[in-house]
Amino acid sequence: MSPTAPTLKLRYAATSDTGLVRESNQDTAYAGSRLLAVADGFGTGGAPASAAAVEAFRRLEDGGVPAGGLLNVLADAVEEAERAVCDAVAAGCAPGAAGTTLTAMLWTGSQLGLVHIGDSRVYLLRDGELFRITHDHTVVQSMIDEGRLTPEEAVSHPQRSLLVRALGQGADPRAEMRLQDARSQDRYLLCSDGLSTVVPDDEIRRVLTAPQEPGWAARALVALANDSGGPDNVSCVVADVVTAG
């Protein structure tokens, strides 16, 4: 008989900060035993939009989801989140564009189902190496993909935050979805662009590789963003895959 695979679980923390320039925080960050999520709202109704998107996914915390049906469950949740965001924007906004990004991961016990819309990001630290496992849905990233812009030029491009996908009225809500196999000692970071636009990947890796618990890492990353001027709201969710017991 083959040995039984160890039971895995998540150890997690979430934190969100207004930053040093913005008057209010339009981000929503959430971490639970099964759901990790970051939403970055924009426009006059950005705060209720991001909260509505995450709330639509929080129902997935309850009950089991068969791994084989996970992507279908996530697709249904995206549709629910889109409706919730549009309702929130219509109910509480002055005229003007408003919506939110949404990046979330749902834990099954051996896999994470990824949903990604917009330019919040997921990073994976595995065996000491840092990988970005999401693709920004922005005008600038499209230009990089087409060879019209280099990553170095993108850093200072005036349209670097212009989204091509988001949840909200009139937005393109198509989600990137896939399954991610989990390994013990993996560390995941979900973050809004308030971190990734001002803190280099090597600094993110330095914090994530420190032998500290997820709450420390999340707070340290927010502090780095604010030390770099804090021009935007910044949210971080850090989750470790650990052996249960």
pLDDT 10s digits, 195-217: 999 999 999 999 999 999 999 99
| Statement: residue 160 has pLDDT above 70 | no
Q: How crowded is residue 55: how many other Cβ atoms within 10 Å of its Cβ?
A: 19
CATH superfamily of 8-136+164-243: PPM-type phosphatase domain (3.60.40.10)
Alpha helices, DSSP H, located in the chain: 46-58, 70-92, 139-145, 151-154, 193-196, 201-209, 214-227
Q: pLDDT value at position 93?
A: 52
DSSP for 132-185, written as a single string: E-----BHHHHHHHTTSS-HHHHTT-TTTT-BSS-EETTS--PPEEEEEE--TT
Backbone φ and ψ for 233, nearest 5 degrees, come out as -60, 150
Model confidence pTM above 0.85: yes
Q: Name the percent of the chain lying above pLDDT 90.
A: 66
Confidence of residue 2 (pLDDT cuts 50, 70, 90): very low
Please tell me the distance from the alpha carbon of residue 238 to that of residue 241, in angstroms, as a whole number. 10
Q: How far apart are CA 74 and CA 231, in angstroms?
A: 32
Taking only the tens place, the pLDDT of each residue in 78-132 is 999 999 999 988 875 545 578 999 999 999 888 999 999 999 999 999 999 999 9
DSSP 8-state assignment for residue 31:
E
Q: In which residue are the tokens 């005229």 written?
A: 95
* Ranges of each domain in the chain: 8-136+164-243
Q: Lowest mean pLDDT: which of 120-124, 147-151, 198-202, 240-244? A: 147-151
Q: Are 244 and 10 in contact (CB under 8 A)?
A: no
CA–CA distance, 174 with 180 (Å, rounded to integer) = 19
